[in-house]
Amino acid sequence: MICIRCQHDSKYPDRKATGTCEKCGGKFAFEPREGAKLSDQAFQKAIDKVSSDGKVKFGVEHLYYELCRRNRSKSKVLLGCVTFFFPMFIVTVLTLAKVVPVEVLMAGIVLSAVAAYFASRPSEEVSLHRSEFEKMWDRWGQIHGKVPSAIQRKPQDAPSRATRPAEPDLEDYSFDRAVICDRARTADLLLANNFHFENNCAILSFDGYPKPAFESVRRMLKRNPRLEVYALHDATPVGCRLAHRLATDPEWFKGQGRVIDVGLRPVHARPFDGLLLPGEGVVQRGNGISEEEARWLSEHRLELAAIRPEQVLKRLFKAISKQPSFPSATPEFTPSSSSRLDPALAAAGAIAVAGAAMAAPPPPGAKQQKPKDDSSSSSGSSSGGDSGGGDWSLDVDSFSSDADSSDGGADSFG
């Protein structure tokens, strides 16, 4: 087993007694010879993969799915081989002994091949339990320390050093774009990788995160009648209804701007066999979910964390970039050069660059899919056109497995 500290190939007899590398003395976190699912080197490679070799911040949930991805392929290939070769060995011996005719051998080959195919297919749901992964993650931290690229969420209720009240004119700012997530950890991924600064957009989660700035940022967003809202979510009942909720809830963006659903839906599930979670009960159609989607969601769930972080960032950027823009508008308020931004608001992506509150969105790209006017279907309702009116639409292409082979394509999903 390779020591990740000194790259020495440590033999089992040499490390068995102490669990350490005999060359550098470093301790191993895992011992495959004693039941561990993988070695330290395999765990480190999984970290390198989800962090793009340390260049991208990731959540612990992304590492969990990376290990599930590795675990599914190894176990299923072995099972497929056993399913094919063991029956074939028995039939071949019987044929050579002239106990059975050659026709039986031919039939055995066909049946063994079919059985091996189905046995080697990955199961739909994850095979690694969360509790087992959490023990592995804790063990890794004890032996190797914190992972620099892992996202560490700050306590939301901790008192902030910036306790001064916000300046009276601060909420006169607004934005052209916002990304609303269905859960806080997705917002964490975007914020930790500075997606809000690089794309000049606000980032919030529907459940009120980041807490210190949530209400202030939402009020700022509601000031812009031309607001573009991108709903980023898991393929869950709550996630698939997020865009509909944002476009019809008066507390959010009813009658304002347009909402584009760019999150995961059941149609994206095909490349994720072995990474699905079981459903949580019968799901009814309506409010953004079609009959077909309701059937799938009753049996399965698919989390956005199953996609590697770099791909999430790239595909979200492309989804935003290809949308046709609203006509430019003159800002209602122009801040003075002496204005300073509240740190909590900046951290939430409320304002990426001072004085650029109404920056123009990217140039138009591919045409967006226009939904049918049916509240029980998976598309949104149309009521207002480009000037705002609660429209919401689906973009299922940006997160499809074959969206663009140049940035990883299906390989990053499988």
The rounded percent of the chain whose pLDDT value lies above 90 is 51
Question: Where does residue 2 rank: exposed (0-12), middle (13-18), buried (19+ CB within 10 A)?
Answer: middle
Name the band, by pLDDT with cuts 50, 70 and 90, for residue 330. Answer: very low
* 88 compared with 67, residue with greater pLDDT: 67
Question: Does the pLDDT value for residue 140 go beyond 60?
Answer: yes
Question: Does the pLDDT value for residue 39 go beyond 50?
Answer: yes
Question: Does the pLDDT value for residue 251 go beyond 60?
Answer: yes
Domains of the chain: 54-152 (no CATH), 172-412 (3.40.1360)
Among 191-200, 292-301, 342-351, 370-379, the minimum mean pLDDT is found in 370-379
Name the band, by pLDDT with cuts 50, 70 and 90, for residue 89. Answer: low
Q: What pLDDT is stored for residue 389 in this prediction?
A: 40
Question: Does the pLDDT value for residue 76 go beyond 90?
Answer: no
Q: What pLDDT is stored for residue 290 in this prediction?
A: 95
168 — phi, psi (to 5°)?
A: -55, -35
Task: Measure the CA–CA gap between 406 and 28, rounded to whole angstroms.
Answer: 38
Question: Does the pLDDT value for residue 333 go beyond 60?
Answer: no
What's the farthest any 2 CA atoms get from each other in the chain? 95
Question: Does the pLDDT value for residue 383 go beyond 80?
Answer: no
Question: Does the pLDDT value for residue 347 go beyond 70?
Answer: no
Name the band, by pLDDT with cuts 50, 70 and 90, for residue 372. Answer: very low
Q: What pLDDT is stored for residue 171 in this prediction?
A: 55
Q: What pLDDT is stored for residue 102 in this prediction?
A: 60
CA 159 to chain centre: 30
Among 259-273, 297-311, 352-366, the minimum mean pLDDT is found in 352-366
Among 122-126, 139-143, 282-286, the minimum mean pLDDT is found in 122-126
For residue 255, give the nearest of 232, 231, 226 by alpha carbon. Answer: 226
pLDDT average, residue stretch 196-218: 91
Among 92-101, 132-141, 201-210, the minimum mean pLDDT is found in 92-101
pLDDT average, residue stretch 25-54: 94
Q: What pLDDT is stored for residue 322 in this prediction?
A: 84
For residue 275, give the nearest of 60, 410, 129, 126 by alpha carbon. Answer: 126
Give the CB-side neighbour count of residue 368, counting CA atoms within 13 A: 27
Each residue of 93-121: pLDDT tens digit?
Answer: 666 666 667 666 567 666 666 655 554 45
Question: Does the pLDDT value for residue 16 go beyond 50?
Answer: yes
Each residue of 153-199: pLDDT tens digit?
Answer: 776 665 554 444 545 555 556 678 999 999 999 999 999 999 998 88
Question: Does the pLDDT value for residue 10 go beyond 70?
Answer: yes
Question: Does the pLDDT value for residue 414 go beyond 50?
Answer: no
pLDDT average, residue stretch 124-153: 90
Among 222-236, 268-282, 309-323, 326-340, the minimum mean pLDDT is found in 326-340
CB-based contact 275:302 (threshold 8 Å): yes
pLDDT average, residue stretch 7-31: 93
Q: What pLDDT is stored for residue 157 in this prediction?
A: 60
Q: What pLDDT is stored for residue 400 in this prediction?
A: 82
CA 160 to chain centre: 29
Reduce the secondary structure of the chain to three states and give it as a string: CECCCCCCECCHHHHCCCCECCCCCCECCCCHHHCCCCCHHHHHHHHHHHCCCCCCCECHHHHHHHHHHHHHHHHHHHHHHHHHHHHHHHHHHHHHCCCCCHHHHHHHHHHHHHHHHHHHCCCCECCCCHHHHHHHHHHHHHHHCCCCCECCCCCCCCCCCCCCCCCCCHHHCCCCEEEEECCHHHHHHHHHCCHHHHHCCEEEECCCECCCCHHHHHHHHCCCCCCEEEEECCECHHHHCHHHHHHHCCCCCCCCCEEEECCCCHHHCHHHCCCEEECCCCCCCCCCCCHHHHHHHHHEEECHHHCCHHHHHHHHHHHHHCCCCCCCCCCCCCCCCCCCCCHHHHHCCCCCCCCCCCCCCCCCCCCCECCCCCCCCCCCCCCCHHHCCCEEEECCCCCCCCCCHHHCHHHHCC
* 363 compared with 407, residue with greater pLDDT: 407
Q: What pLDDT is stored for residue 308 in this prediction?
A: 94
